[in-house]
Amino acid sequence: MSGDVAIIFQIAGIGIIISIIHTVLKQAGKEDLAHLVTLVGFVLVLFMVVSYVNELFQEIKRVFLFK
């Protein structure tokens, strides 16, 4: 169960770091780069979530013996 909570904290941490970087870059006048950093952060979190959803579906297949 603690591993599940760690995943949530990892995603939240990435979000906080990306938002700080976005704010700093936007204040520096580099809005295009700020949007790019936000997009990269979103894609990173998306890949993390997709891998966990894949694990969930594999576990569902294993439980119901769909192999």
Amino acid making up residue 59: E
Report the predicted TM-score, pTM, of the whole model to 2 decimal places.
0.76
pLDDT of residue 41: 95
pLDDT of residue 5: 87
Residue 1 pLDDT > 70: no
10 Cβ contact list (under 8 Å, min separation 6):
48
pLDDT of residue 24: 96
The model's pLDDT over 6-41, given as tens digits with 9 standing for 90+, comes to 889 999 999 999 999 999 999 999 999 999 999 999
Q: What is the DSSP track for 1-36?
A: -HHHHHHHHHHHHHHHHHHHHHHHHHHTT-HHHHHH
The mean pLDDT of 38-62, rounded to a whole number, is 92
- What are the structure tokens assigned to 50, written together? 């997709």
Amino acid making up residue 7: I
- Nearest Cα to Cα of residue 37 among 19, 61, 51, 50: 19
